[in-house]
Amino acid sequence: MLSRVADTIYWLARYMDRTQAMLQVIRTHYHASQDSPHEFSWRPLLYSYGGSLTLEEVAALERNTPRVLERLLLDKDNPTSVYNNVLQARENARAVQDHITQEVWQCLNSFYHAIRGGEILEQIRFGDPISGIDGLMRHGLVFLGAVQNTMPRDESYGYLNLGKQLERALQTTDTLRIQWANMTTQAQPDTEIPQLRYLVHSLSGQELYLKTYRGNFNPDSVLQFVLHNAYFTHSLRSCLSRLSWYFERLKSDSLPESHEQLAFLIGRLANQVKYSDVSARNAQQLDEFLLHIRKELLGIATALGKNYLGRS
């Protein structure tokens, strides 16, 4: 496969997994805003997904939910909006239609037309924003189902999953770091902290968490779940394990030195996560650990781009 084609497919997957992660985080924050409307602020998400907003613009927007949702979801002038992620994914898919199935293209094209239509904007401004967000999320899930059920298990499928797992690991790291930094953790060890429930829900893990820990949301259990639970598809351990598995499938078509470098970087990071003993009670230690994980993930992305995707 040409490196240009591999790069396009890889970024198609990254844009789509980023879209789904953003929608879930925004949906969860909207629920949180309804629970405590007088204390709630959209500031963390505006910093993450709002584009190049000034401090004054963030301050003016942070408590205006309809305007924030429009900025994060539909604003064509915001390069990090959900709309622009879907647009970029669709343009990538258009460029590699010979390497994806017709069903995958049709799902993505339908997603694009849904988000550019006026119905979502009407729901955000005057109706029920959750219904609009849920509609977009269903398009994302249909896309994932089309990839899983119609794509042949060839190089294209491998690069799709490399992009998906790398982006998912980055989104999990960023979501955990940002939400933990804004969490009130002064409660007693056995006292539930409401923000922990929102954090788990933001990562689409609430159902599995409740089954695993019988509904006891405490910092140690949540951190263990997000970092180490092998059955949770958004945990760092799961993402890195799957990233390693899909990367190994490229070995026969790789230059030995290129494969060895990437395999070492992925394996080293997987072991750092697996054997980490970071404490949920030490916010500074956790923040430094997550920043290190993020740096390592970006290093893997850079090496992948240089050795496999034709990017310096």
What is the reported pLDDT for 255? 83
Q: Which residue has the tokens 């994302």?
A: 140
> Is 207 found in the same domain as 130?
no
What is the reported pLDDT for 37? 64
The domain tally of the chain equals 2
DSSP conformation class of 51? -
> Is 4 found in the same domain as 59?
yes
B/e letters for 108-121, b = 16+ CB within 10 Å, e = fewer, are beebbebbeeeebb
> Is 244 found in the same domain as 212?
yes
What is the reported pLDDT for 187? 46
What's the Cα-to-Cα distance from 101 to each of 94, 152, 268, rounded to whole Å?
Answer: 11, 8, 35
Last residue of a domain, one of 101, 125, 151: 151
> Is 212 found in the same domain as 131?
no
Segment-wise mean pLDDT, segments of 10 residues, the chain, 312 residues: 91 97 94 76 88 88 90 93 96 95 96 90 87 94 96 94 97 93 57 82 94 87 94 96 93 85 95 92 91 96 90 61
CA distance 159 to 13: 8
CA distance 257 to 260: 5
Which range of residues forms the domain containing residue 7? 1-151
> Is 162 found in the same domain as 116?
no
> Is 169 found in the same domain as 144?
no
CA distance 294 to 169: 9
> Is 252 found in the same domain as 144?
no
Provide CB contacts within 8 A for 303, sequence distance 6+: 261, 262, 265
> Is 312 found in the same domain as 194?
yes
Is-contact 189 142, C-beta < 8 A?
Answer: no
CA distance 243 to 267: 10
Last residue of a domain, one of 127, 151, 175: 151
> Is 223 found in the same domain as 122?
no
What is the reported pLDDT for 184? 54
Q: For residue 186, count other CB atoms closer than 10 A to its CB.
A: 7
What is the pTM (predicted TM-score) of this model?
Answer: 0.92
Last residue of a domain, one of 97, 123, 151: 151
